[in-house]
Structure 1
Amino acid sequence: MDQMSFGDGEYASKRKRTRRETFLAEMEQVIPWTILLNLIEPVYPKAGNGRPPYPLKVMLKVHLMQNWFGLSDPAMEEALYEIASMRQFAGLSLTKPIPDETTILNFRRLLEKYELAAEMLSRVNGYLTRKGLMLKRGTIVDATIIAAPSSTKNAEGERDPEMHQTKKGEQWYFGMKAHIGVDMDSGLVHTVTTTPANEADVSEAEYLLHGKEQVVYADAGYTGADKCAARKGLDWQIARKRGSVKALPEGREKRSIEKEEKRKASIRAIGEHPFRVVKRQFGYAKVRFKGLAKNTAQILTLFALSNLWMARKRLLALTGKLRPQMAY
């Protein structure tokens, strides 16, 4: 058994559990570790000449915490030194070496090189489907803008060429869009695509369908999506444009249409929950990297994690661990 440092020993003896500890304890229980480790293990460095690599599970846990808490590589290294709960979640101790920022960076680049983020989302969703948590009878499609730095005060003297600006309402935004297809019954994300911010939502509609849904809910930005041959045969519940509803004469017909639009809006609201988790719970408000590819990898990872976070209570109930204990 590894020797415990004084700091870790003092931490282990305390009584009150923080929100971070509760969060990490729950995620420890619900993440399908074996599935994810089996995905990465074939490409992970093997022990040989030179310094032996950290255990794969340690690096995966560090990578996930970096996404949950929105930390840069240097900030993640410092957090492992400073925050006992994060250190113990990763299975690390101050009595042994802590992964430095370069090691953390290299692990992320490994996942990017082999494009494993998309497969992580797919395998997490396969796991949730087998647990009966994704029914796939209907899909909600939606998109959100992720801001990128618009300043040209950088080494290149220019903005990211893969990001673009778009106007929403009366305001201009610069960055990219994350498009998602959400399971209508569970509210979990089954498909993710990304584009520059100026790409029309409707152009991504067909790429957000898994092919088994019977009905699709969408806001007015997807008007005309049902006209494409590839999307015909589905029940498209697309919101009417507000102006067209307001322009109707007062009467029974308008009240009926307003009632129907309210019903559709209540279902579409389910599709906004993953955005709230990623942006508020995980603090992902701006892109962290340059270019679509690196940011897409992070976004795919975040939605895989948001699915597990949103399904955690049901997963814990299935295992009988509604109040998981910290046992690292």
Structure 2
Amino acid sequence: MTAARQVFDVVVRQETLPLDQEELRAALAEYDVVLPTLGDAFDAAVFADVPEPRCKLLANFGVGFNHIDVSAARAAGVEVTNTPGAVTDATADIAMTLMLMSARRAAEGERLVRSGQWEGWHPTQMLGMHLTQKTVAIAGMGRIGQAIAQRCHFGFGMKVLYWNRSEKQLSFDAERVTSLAEMAARADVVVAAVPGGVDTRHLFDADVFAAMQSHAHFINISRGEVVDEQALVAALQAGVIGGAGLDVYEFEPEVPEALRDLDNVTLLPHLGTAALEVRTQMGLMAVDNLRAFTAKKPLPNRV
């Protein structure tokens, strides 16, 4: 906020819920630049209602921008930027948190202790899956996917498979697999690290879960809509896969009761970048985009 106020006359919205339909249209009509956050749905209908917006830049606070119709924005003369890089390590850390929690049944164990029903240690208590030397399969090998792969390879000695549109030159051994189902079938842990959007909606469906091994765990730190949530619930209920760790949801913040009732799934409230220094860096990056736009310089993070 301090950085923004050095350049702009800033109006701060105190409400943390997403902009409603009226606010979305007012944002385009009444302000020169807007710094939106996840959930502020600037879709084609909003731009259609404001065909000549005063706003000329949406400097998104976050790397994901599937809540903004970029094509509709550009057709209306509005540029869009995001904050890549700032979120990479924090999101990769949450992926590892979910991998460990899911594989070692940490959330289930924490609930057991809190319930007062824990009877003490015994040799076969809550046996989970040991991650070291296992195989991880990562869908999406961008910045975040690579950061996850590095942690898995160097930290846990895991074999890395990945599914990506192109081959990546990496500083460690990793095998590219062109079939998502084949990759899923070979892994102990499958991680979704793809961007959201039309091309990846329901990428992880019943067929992918059916291809996974029965002990394998599925982790999602990307976007909720890349997963067919009902297919995931069915796979977990039937024991088709061993477990799941989720930080995002298809209809966020709604989480199906069937998912919440399962012991073999770890559920986090979209904590991917929830560290003060990370959110501060994201904000400063967004402001850098705003400053560049105002100074008529190239946008550092145009999408």
Task: Please report the TM-score for the alignment, with normalisation by the length of structure 1.
Answer: 0.29
In terms of fraction of residues, the more helix-rich structure is 1
Tell me which of the two structures has the higher relative contact order, counting C-alpha pairs closer than 8 angstroms and 6 or more residues apart: 1
Structure with the greater alpha carbon radius of gyration: 1
Q: TM-score, normalised by structure 2?
A: 0.30
